[in-house]
Amino acid sequence: MKNVTVVGLGKIGLPLAAIFANCGHFHVYGADINKLVVDQVNQGIAHVSNEPGLDELVAKAHQAKTLEATVNTADAVSKSEVVVVIVPVLTRENGQIYYQYIDSAVEEIAKGIKKGTLVTFETTLPAGDTRNRFGKTIEKISGLTMGEDFYLSYSPERVYSNRIIKDLSSYPKVVSGYNKTSLELATDFYKKGLNCEILQVSSLEAAEFTKVAECVYRDVNIALANELAVYANKLDINIMEVIKAANSEPYSNIHLPGVGVGGHCIPVYPYFFINNGMQEGLTTLSRKINDNMAQYAVELTEETIGQLKDKKILILGLSFRGNVKEPTKSSTLLLIEELGEKDAKVFVDDPLFDANEISKYGVIPFSNQQADQIDAIILQAYHDEYQKLDFSDFKNCSLVLDGRNVLNRRDVEKFGMKYLGIGMK
């Protein structure tokens, strides 16, 4: 059995480590700087929740002794033939890249690496970083030569939260290598580890840019849908009807409009492109269009119910999307800002967060007893719980703005409230 180290046991790293540890080919060390995470994994417990299949995989690997966690990355790497890096690169507000975590992980890898090891990066990266930043750091610290003494690969992680285990085995895995041997070793590793279709690309940079291009495509497409929705609203046309009809033509794949784009992928990774000399293009404009949707929603609310000063507005969903506990870059944060500028009183409801977690955002955590105070509701993240939402409790509410175009308008209108969607009057 080969030894594999997965560096970073987060939302993606733990599922990866658990799958590799159950595939029958590898003994896996999971390396993480968070001791709580390491301790839990060493008890056979998954600290990542809402990932179908993960608890079972971690427990099974723990029992079979094929998954061990450690805070000592260099030591784990020194015993491994393959190292998988899945420590995030973060961005600041303006999209500037923040490498601190991954840089220190790579330094530890470089201290432990032995001759013949394959290091494969899965973290989303700007094109060029695997070779020019991390490969060179490993060379400098270890004294080994890239492509001769150690091998380098990049393979983007493209999975969707809540479906990670399924996506890892069903999406084709895009794989690249620094040289022929790197590509062969990486292909063999992922075939054994994930048992999925492998899609080889010709360079590390092509694989890095594949993931960024996917995120750019989705952001730009959603911006187009949003622009069309704003126009449809002016014409009193239902955009959802238009998109459905337009997409019946095989070359049309217009995405869905909404109150904004959140999460740590789509609104973030376009900056890996924009900040590398592409400031003037479509991607920058799309980012702006998508981020302006919160302002648009607040303006629609104001046009409908009048001045928002002291009005009590309830936002449904703190998470960036339904059924995921993840507030990163959620459109709710932009809505809170816009409503704050109008001096509205902002209430937020989210069944996945407790009152303390919600009040950190400077808003009032909503409880059902407050329902009759609410003047307007903006639905931002459509959690399953909202399918059963009873609007009859909102006795003084005059507007429901459906920011995801998912509610049944009759459930709202039957209580005398106005229903508005994004591009739907």
Ligand X SMILES: NC(=O)c1ccc[n+]([C@@H]2O[C@H](COP(=O)([O-])OP(=O)(O)OC[C@H]3O[C@@H](n4cnc5c(N)ncnc54)[C@H](O)[C@@H]3O)[C@@H](O)[C@H]2O)c1
* Binding region for ligand X (CB under 6 A): 7-13, 31-34, 37, 73, 86-89, 101, 104-105, 123-124, 157-159, 161, 265
- Triad 224, 350, 32: Cα angle to 5°: 85
Pairwise CA distance, residues 257 & 220, whole Å: 11
Is 104 or 247 the residue whose CB approaches ligand X more closely? Answer: 104
Query: Pick from 36, 60, 48, 50: which is nearest to 86 by CA?
Result: 48
- 3-class state of residue 124 by DSSP: coil
Pairwise CA distance, residues 367 & 353, whole Å: 12
Is 34 or 137 the residue whose CB approaches ligand X more closely? Answer: 34
Q: How far is the CB of 61 from ligand X (least distance, A)?
A: 17
For 168-188, b/e burial (b = at least 16 CB within 10 A) is: beebebbbbbbeeebbbbbbe
Is 37 or 300 the residue whose CB approaches ligand X more closely? Answer: 37
Q: How far is the CB of 331 from ligand X (least distance, A)?
A: 17
- 3-class state of residue 100 by DSSP: helix
Is 170 or 307 the residue whose CB approaches ligand X more closely? Answer: 170
Q: How far is the CB of 208 from ligand X (least distance, A)?
A: 11
Q: Calculate the alpha carbon distances from 194 to 167, 170, 191, 312, 410 in Å.
A: 10, 9, 6, 50, 46
Is 161 or 233 the residue whose CB approaches ligand X more closely? Answer: 161
In the chain, % helix, strand, coil (3-state, to 5) comes to: 45, 15, 40
Q: How far is the CB of 376 from ligand X (least distance, A)?
A: 31
Partnered with residue 259 across adjacent β-strands are none
Is 69 or 400 the residue whose CB approaches ligand X more closely? Answer: 69
Partnered with residue 345 across adjacent β-strands are 312
Is 123 or 233 the residue whose CB approaches ligand X more closely? Answer: 123
Yes or no: say if 348 and 314 are a contact pair by the CB < 8 Å rule.
yes
DSSP 8-state symbol, 79:
T
Would you state the structure tokens that stand for residue 369, as one six-digit string?
Answer: 């007893």
- Mode of pairing for the β-strands spanning 312-316 and 198-200: unpaired
Q: How far is the CB of 124 from ligand X (least distance, A)?
A: 3
AA letter at 227? E
Q: How far is the CB of 400 from ligand X (least distance, A)?
A: 29
Pairwise CA distance, residues 357 & 348, whole Å: 11
Q: How far is the CB of 63 from ligand X (least distance, A)?
A: 23
Owner of token pair 């470089």:
110
Give the CB-nearest residue to ligand X: 10
Q: How far is the CB of 314 from ligand X (least distance, A)?
A: 27
Q: How far is the CB of 102 from ligand X (least distance, A)?
A: 7
Is 10 or 53 the residue whose CB approaches ligand X more closely? Answer: 10
Is 255 or 321 the residue whose CB approaches ligand X more closely? Answer: 321
